[in-house]
Structure 1
Amino acid sequence: MRVRLREIAFARSGDKGDTANVGLIAFRPSIYPYLVKEVTAERVKYHFNSICEGEVERFELPNLRALNFLLHRSLGGGGTVSLMLDAQGKTFATALLRMEIDVPDHLLDGSAD
């Protein structure tokens, strides 16, 4: 089944200079392997293609059921020099949660945990 990430995970985001930092955390342990498989650095880069001008790095944190992404050159130079509405990256988490991925139906009812 195709779902938006917001249905299976939550996210937080922030910034450091011109780099946005987005953490994606699975609601349940059974979901995490699908995040690892489906939410790649390449897919995140594509999802933010109109904003992120640099590379996207992904870090896996399995003990937290989380992925952390650094989106380089995505804030128009950063908060003190950018004309962007969100030069601090606060809304990047919400934007990532709009991404859609495929997961098996049985994971959505919670019976897999």
Structure 2
Amino acid sequence: MKARLEQVAHTRSGDKGNTSNIAVFAYEPALYPLLKEQLTAERFKAFHRAAITGEVLRYEAENLHALNFVAHGALGGGVSRSLSLDNYGKALSAAILGFELDVPDEMAPLLRARAPA
């Protein structure tokens, strides 16, 4: 079955210069392997299209059941220099919650309810 990332994990973000740091935390340890397999640095960058112009690095925090993405060139030159008010880490971390994952049917009870549209 398809599930949006918001049903599998939550995010936190931070900004520094022209780099955004976005952490994705699985709600349940059993869901973490799905994140590792499907939410790659390449897919993260592709999902955000042209908003991220630089390299995206992914770090795995196994003990936290989390992935940490460092997106270079993600803030239009830096939050205080950018004319694009939407290019903050918070906007990028909220957007990635729409990323779709393939989740085995037997894991459906672990998913959080989808937020209303």
TM-score surpassing 0.5? yes
- Distance in 1, matches of 2:31 and 2:42, equals 20
- Distance in 2, matches of 1:15 and 1:61, equals 19
Q: How does 1:1-113 map to 2 (within 5 A)?
A: 1-110=1-110
Q: Secondary structure at the match of 1:36?
A: helix
Report the CA distance between 1:23 and its aligned residue. Answer: 0.5
Q: Provide runs of 4+ in structure 1 moved above 3 Å.
A: none
**Normalised TM-score (structure 1):** 0.92
Q: Decide whether the 8 Å contact of 1:47 with 1:99 is kept in 2.
A: yes
- State the identity %: 46
Greater fraction helix: 2
Q: Decide whether the 8 Å contact of 1:25 with 1:64 is kept in 2.
A: yes
Q: Decide whether the 8 Å contact of 1:75 with 1:87 is kept in 2.
A: yes
- Distance in 2, matches of 1:5 and 1:33, equals 13
- Distance in 1, matches of 2:103 and 2:87, equals 33
Q: Decide whether the 8 Å contact of 1:13 with 1:91 is kept in 2.
A: no
Which structure 1 residue ranges, 5 or more long, are not aligned?
none
- Distance in 2, matches of 1:29 and 1:89, equals 25
Report the CA distance between 1:87 and its aligned residue. Answer: 4.2
Report the CA distance between 1:88 and its aligned residue. Answer: 3.5
- Distance in 2, matches of 1:88 and 1:108, equals 32
Which structure 2 residue ranges, 5 or more long, are not aligned?
111-117
Give the letter aligned to residue 77 of structure 1.
G
Aligned-pair Cα RMSD in Å: 1.0
Q: Secondary structure at the match of 2:109?
A: coil
Residue by residue, what CA displacement relative to the aligned partner does 1:33-67 show, whole Å, maximum 9, x if unpaired? Answer: 00000000010010011200001100000100000
Q: Decide whether the 8 Å contact of 2:53 with 2:72 is kept in 1.
A: yes
Give the letter aligned to residue 51 of structure 2.
I
**Normalised TM-score (structure 2):** 0.89
Q: Decide whether the 8 Å contact of 2:51 with 2:87 is kept in 1.
A: no
How many residue pairs get aligned? The number is 110
